[in-house]
Amino acid sequence: MKVGFIGVGNMGGALCSAVSKTLGGESIYVCDANEARAMDISKKYGASCSDALKICEICDYIFIGVKPQMIRKLLENIKPVINNRQDDFALVSMAAGVSIDTIGQMCGGERHCHAIIRIMPSISVSAESGMILCAINDKVTKKFKDGFEYMMQKAGKLDFIKEEQIDAASALTGCGPAFVAMFVEALADGAVSCGISREKALEYANMTVMGAAKYLTEIGKHPALLKDAVCSPAGSTIEGVLTLEDGAFRALVSNAVKASYEKTKELGKQ
What does the pLDDT look like over 65-84, one tens digit per residue?
999 889 999 999 999 999 99
Q: 113 and 197 share a domain?
A: no
The pTM of the full predicted model, rounded to 2 decimals, is: 0.87
Q: Cβ(9)–Cβ(35) under 8 Å?
A: no
Residue 102 CB: number of other CB atoms within 10 A? 19
Residue 170 inside a domain? The answer is: no
Q: What integer pLDDT is reported at residue 107 of this predicted model?
A: 87
| pLDDT < 70 stretches in the chain | 109-112, 270
Domain boundary among 163, 193, 220: 163
Same domain, 107 and 138: yes
16 and 71 inside one domain: yes
Does residue 245 form part of some domain? yes
> Does the residue 105 lie in any domain?
yes
Long-range contacts at 176-181 (CB < 8 A, ≥ 24 apart): 176/122, 176/257, 177/122, 177/123, 177/124, 179/253, 179/256, 179/257, 180/209
Q: φ, ψ for residue 238 (rounded to 5)? A: -65, -30
Task: Please report the pLDDT score of residue 111 as a whole number.
Answer: 57
Domain count, the chain: 2
Residue 191: inside a domain, yes or no? yes
